Amino acid sequence: MASSRTSPRGPGRVLVVDDDRRAASALAAWLCRTGWHARAAGSRGEAERLVGRWSCDVCVIDGGLPGAPALLAALGRAVPAAATLVIRTATGPDATDLGADAVVGPLPADADLEAGISAAREAARLRGRTHAAPTAAPLGRDPVFRQAFETALRIAATDATVLVTGESGTGKSLLARAIHAASRRAARPLVEVSCGSLADGLLDSELFGHVAGAFTGAVADRPGRFVEADGGTIFLDEIATASPALQVRLLRVLQERRLEPVGSGRTRTVDTRVILATHEDLEALVAAGRFRADLFWRVNVVSIELPPLRARPDDVAVLADHFRTAAAARAGRESLGFTAAALAALARYPWPGNVRELEHAVQRAVFLGRSPLIDVADLPPAIAAAGGGQRPGALREALFDPERRLILEALERHGWRRDAAARHLGINRTALYKKLKRLGMDPRSLPPPGSPAAAGSGSRPAASSAARSAASRSR
Ligand SMILES: Nc1ncnc2c1ncn2[C@@H]1O[C@H](COP(=O)(O)OP(=O)(O)OP(=O)(O)O)[C@@H](O)[C@H]1O
Ligand SMILES: [Mg+2]
């Protein structure tokens, strides 16, 4: 099937994860028949163990799988280049299509599944490219955040080792990618290594490579992560989880900038810029004897601390709108904005999961929301509760974009009568329709003429994906 659309390596590997193991196996068997190397896993745990040994190119996850969001996060760490596709469940309010590269409706027909896999691969490819592109610059206007970001850009041009700290989800990985993208190394690889995921027994070969025949199973030369990043950047993520053995290896390579592939008997130099990240307090770990002091001093050359989202209140709305537009484009869904009540809830919530939590909450609202205008009820319960009985706000308060706001104000003022609103704006009806379309608003989705001006009133419910799920395989 998808062989013509896939990577130059050919069809590649697909992992199918469904707590209904028979369904997972049936889908994997079908994928094998269409030319993929497919394997099935019956639980999140099994999938996570499997990708440790068998890195997949695509992971297809049943939306009803317990722990699906955690699995998506784990895949993002273990196999960041893998494309993820979620099959939405027909019933579940917990259709956990959060953060996947693509989503298909329940019981997808073969063609829908193929299209979904292609879309996920394309999104994953763009994701990889976007991360390296300067346009993926982290968003935010909070002064502390700006300062951190500007420091990052200033030192990007140097080869200095950078330690990025901050709570989980504050954007450390994003910042590391932005530093690489802004450096002279941008055209060379950025290799991401999650330090906790490296097995001690394979450390040397994993980091420094090996030559064929160095040990049983070493059938071919392998470059190792530092050599892969030669001329580029290595991003050592979750550095606090590095085992004592890994800490020793890192210290040596950081000091000497030389390494020895296993079995080669020769050392070689590498020109690799090192960026590290942690959400833990490394100094405290040094004091507790859990992190080597000499390695700490070696990595703590330039350190950049990212503030938690609760300390940057002005950025919440900016980020929320950015994630909303991106999720709507990705899901092919229409989205107009947030109600004032939803914005109030977002502003009050303390965001323990930081920007990642906000991103997931907004994606969820875009995917699951019934109206193109996100309301409090569309937010996860804990966040909705933070809003505390706000009155539903007027549409105009909820939208950011000035042109969109002007148009919606005119429509609202004239009871959603298109002709009157167009006259009010000094344009004709056709021009108004064109503008609405250009702003991503389907004129048909607006409240009917004569409607009152309440937020979200009269919005057309989003097209049901269940309508597309006529055919099914064995599920
Ligand atoms: N300033 C920002 N602008 C746009 N997107 C952001 C920003 N900060 C974070 N994000 C997004 O939020 C999500 C979490 O960010 P990221 O993965 O970089 O966090 P992290 O600090 O590395 O988390 P962890 O400690 O769990 O690894 C990502 O999808 C990232 O793209
Ligand atoms: Mg990270």
State the ligand closest to the CA atom of 356: 1
CA of 475 to the centre of ligand 1 (A): 36
| Ligand 1 atom closest to Cα of residue 170 | 21
| Ligand 1 atom closest to Cα of residue 279 | 25
Ligand 1 mutation pick, 145, 355, 362, max ligand atoms within 8 A of CB:
355
Q: Which residues pair with 338 in a beta bridge?
A: 374
In the chain, CATH 3.40.50.300 covers: 134-307
Confidence grade of residue 199 (pLDDT, cut at 50, 70, 90): confident
Cβ(356) to ligand 1 under 6 A?
yes
* Predicted local distance difference test score (pLDDT) of residue 115: 84
pLDDT of 287 strictly over 80: yes
pLDDT of 208 strictly over 80: yes
Which residue's CA lies nearest to atom 16 of ligand 1?
A: 171
* Predicted local distance difference test score (pLDDT) of residue 444: 66
Give the whole-angstrom CA distance, residue 84 versus residue 76. 9
Which residue's CA lies nearest to atom 18 of ligand 1?
A: 171
pTM of the predicted model as reported, rounded to 2 decimal places: 0.59
Cβ(405) to ligand 1 under 6 A?
no
* Predicted local distance difference test score (pLDDT) of residue 448: 64
Cβ(307) to ligand 1 under 6 A?
no
CB atoms within 10 A of CB 319: 20
Q: What is the mean pLDDT of residues 40-48?
A: 94
- CA 66 from chain centre, in angstroms, equals 20
Cβ(312) to ligand 1 under 6 A?
no
Which residue's CA lies nearest to atom 29 of ligand 1?
A: 356
Q: Is 157 left (phi over 0), alpha (psi -120 to 50) or beta?
A: alpha
pLDDT of 41 strictly over 90: yes
Cβ(106) to ligand 1 under 6 A?
no
Which residue's CA lies nearest to atom 8 of ligand 1?
A: 171
Rounded to the nearest integer, the mean pLDDT of the chain is 81
Confidence grade of residue 91 (pLDDT, cut at 50, 70, 90): low
Which residue's CA lies nearest to atom 2 of ligand 1?
A: 138
Q: Which residues pair with 258 in a beta bridge?
A: 269
Cβ(73) to ligand 1 under 6 A?
no
Give the whole-angstrom CA distance, residue 322 versus residue 178. 17
According to DSSP, residue 214 is labeled S
Q: What is the mean pLDDT of residues 305-318?
A: 94
The model's pLDDT over 381-424, given as tens digits with 9 standing for 90+, comes to: 899 988 765 444 434 344 445 676 678 778 777 877 888 989 98
* Predicted local distance difference test score (pLDDT) of residue 70: 84
Cβ(390) to ligand 1 under 6 A?
no
- What CA dihedral angle connects 240, 241, 246 and 251, to 10 degrees? 0
State the ligand closest to the CA atom of 167: 1
Question: HSE of 427 in the Cβ direction (CA atoms, 13 Å)?
Answer: 16
CB atoms within 10 A of CB 187: 10
| Ligand 1 atom closest to Cα of residue 176 | 18
| Ligand 1 atom closest to Cα of residue 315 | 1
Q: What is the mean pLDDT of residues 195-209?
A: 85
In the chain, CATH 1.10.8.60 covers: 311-445
State the ligand closest to the CA atom of 170: 1
* Predicted local distance difference test score (pLDDT) of residue 455: 34
Range with the largest mean pLDDT of 46-60, 196-210, 281-295: 281-295
* CATH 3.90.1150.10 corresponds to the domain 311-445: no
Q: Range with the lowest mean pLDDT among 211-225, 292-306, 353-367?
A: 211-225
pLDDT of 108 strictly over 90: no
In the chain, CATH 3.40.50.2300 covers: 2-131
The model's pLDDT over 154-163, given as tens digits with 9 standing for 90+, comes to: 999 899 999 9
Cβ(99) to ligand 1 under 6 A?
no
3-state SS assignment for residue 262: strand
Instruction: Tell which wins on pLDDT, 134 or 176.
Output: 176
Which residue's CA lies nearest to atom 31 of ligand 1?
A: 174
Instruction: Tell which wins on pLDDT, 277 or 417.
Output: 277
* Predicted local distance difference test score (pLDDT) of residue 410: 83
Give the whole-angstrom CA distance, residue 151 versus residue 162. 11
pLDDT of 460 strictly over 60: no
Cβ(84) to ligand 1 under 6 A?
no
Please identify, in words, the CATH class of the domain defined by 2-131: alpha beta
CA quadruple 330, 332, 338, 342: dihedral positive or negative?
negative
pLDDT of 346 strictly over 60: yes
Q: What is the mean pLDDT of residues 364-371?
A: 84
At the fourth CATH level, the homologous superfamily of domain 134-307 is P-loop containing nucleotide triphosphate hydrolases (3.40.50.300)
pLDDT of 257 strictly over 60: yes
CA quadruple 469, 104, 93, 320: dihedral positive or negative?
negative
Confidence grade of residue 105 (pLDDT, cut at 50, 70, 90): confident
Cβ(166) to ligand 1 under 6 A?
yes
pLDDT of 90 strictly over 80: no
pLDDT of 145 strictly over 80: yes
The model's pLDDT over 78-89, given as tens digits with 9 standing for 90+, comes to: 788 889 998 887
H or E element that contains 106 = none
Instruction: Tell which wins on pLDDT, 414 or 291.
Output: 291
Give the β-pairing of 258-259 and 268-269. Answer: antiparallel
CA of 164 to the centre of ligand 2 (A): 10
Confidence grade of residue 451 (pLDDT, cut at 50, 70, 90): low
Neighbours of ion ligand 2 (CB under 5 A): 172-173
What the block records as the tokens of 142 is 């909070």
Please, which residues have CB within 8 angstroms of residue 305's CB and are 6 or more apart in sequence? 148, 164, 165, 166
pLDDT of 450 strictly over 70: no
CA of 336 to the centre of ligand 1 (A): 24
Instruction: Tell which wins on pLDDT, 362 or 126.
Output: 362
* Predicted local distance difference test score (pLDDT) of residue 78: 79
Q: Do residues 214 and 262 make contact, with C-beta atoms less than 8 angstroms apart?
A: yes
| Ligand 1 atom closest to Cα of residue 137 | 3
Give the whole-angstrom CA distance, residue 247 versus residue 252. 9
The model's pLDDT over 57-69, given as tens digits with 9 standing for 90+, comes to: 899 999 889 888 8
* Predicted local distance difference test score (pLDDT) of residue 375: 92
Cβ(316) to ligand 1 under 6 A?
no
* Predicted local distance difference test score (pLDDT) of residue 51: 86
CA of 459 to the centre of ligand 2 (A): 38
Q: What is the mean pLDDT of residues 138-158?
A: 91
* Predicted local distance difference test score (pLDDT) of residue 402: 60
